[in-house]
Structure 1
């Protein structure tokens, strides 16, 4: 199957959000609100949506600003906004949440985010925790610290020389390209995404994937990750909120799973009592497109079952 609906919804930010919805096949236990990663798009989550719908979950996933079919006057492909990009992205997520609340009043919402979407989901949670029943933060890295500050310095220098509306020349070399080269015996520079060659080929062939983000988008993405690295930002999040932090042992984007463990340790030290974390052996960046995806999706469903009973 595929998504039940595709529609455009207007966000208060002025963006027309390209939204996909998959309705639950039997019953309606909860809603999974998905946030996709950098340089990809919402339609890539159709298999996960089918899996969840078969288990009684509605699924909502939209293209973030500067991605996929979402359109905004200040957000061409590769850019969040002229200014205040992170705030506008979070406001768009809130607009989708408002829609979910109107269409499924009373149903719990589990917030899900992959990679950049993990940063989006976490930053949404830090601002709107009472709206969320549980959160799944996958394949993110909030332990950048000094490296993140260095990245902002590089981007500031690029912005001064090139302008914010052009693709960064250096960040792709330091991230996507470096991660691709780090995979032993790699066939392509995108092999860091998955061991499944067919999935990597689909990503490469997709014109809405793999493009180079603008300087301003990279600044916004790094800034969101750095905010997630601040313990003070968690002050208003209830400590019994169910949270799942997931990643892969062979994922260079999360420092080979160290970023997953780092966030879990930080949150436990802050008093979060309903947290689970797992780093999957031999798994690369896109957990949902990896060769062990069936196990990973089943584990997610089991966790969701548990948090809905709590």
Structure 2
């Protein structure tokens, strides 16, 4: 089968590799579409801290935002899965530790992450092996392109839930990348007054086209009461900014991860009685995201900048080909191209 392999820092090629065979409890998926995100770019470019945290090494096969169709199953798996369109949880816990047993498998110390952690092969290939326990069936209302955006959507859904957003809340989302804009769309779907803050003019225009209450640069941000602030940036200064501007007694959610350490003044957190919540992974939000996309409550497709073939991916990852177009942040790889 064809697969995109990162063989060394900033070097990736499409190669012919052996097709996988599903083992016990696994299914084989014919991959349809794969989303590319900042984590993929970071690993491709050899971010040493992220590689060390992920316990991964070259060669890498990236791709953790995906959908496809089950074409084969291993021992112990119901054959009725064959032919079903699916996506899956990226986080694969050991299944027997305390965290896994109480529903925190995405925080398992020995977890694998598809396309990210402990060299678990990702979806940038024609075929992908996935434990059946990680599968989610896709309804007909979810297109193939939408299916590849469920993983970032699930991160956004969890972020909005952690922010305790409700009807009439005023929410500020920091960042106009895919997760930031998806946070804005999920918060709006929950009835909030949503504003976004960013630096990219085109991305701010895209946010305004969604009918959000406001899209601002930091210099122009009005002094409003923010019931929740969600930081979806990779800027080390933004967590403190979020704590500074949020209404006392309210919530700050951190879903973005910066390359450098972020410092938060705990005195401000305590004196404002602010709750600060971190979000890692979308595991607990996958079904809710599928439901929101299928119902039309949230439409992720305006965030897609381009759909490319596997042989075009290297140019995107190296930056030779821009990821964004007209403010839209998400590149999808179509494995059929």
TM band (smaller chain) = under 0.3
Max Rg structure: 2
Instruction: Give the TM-score of the pair, scaled to structure 2.
Output: 0.23
Q: Greater helix share, 1 or 2?
A: 1
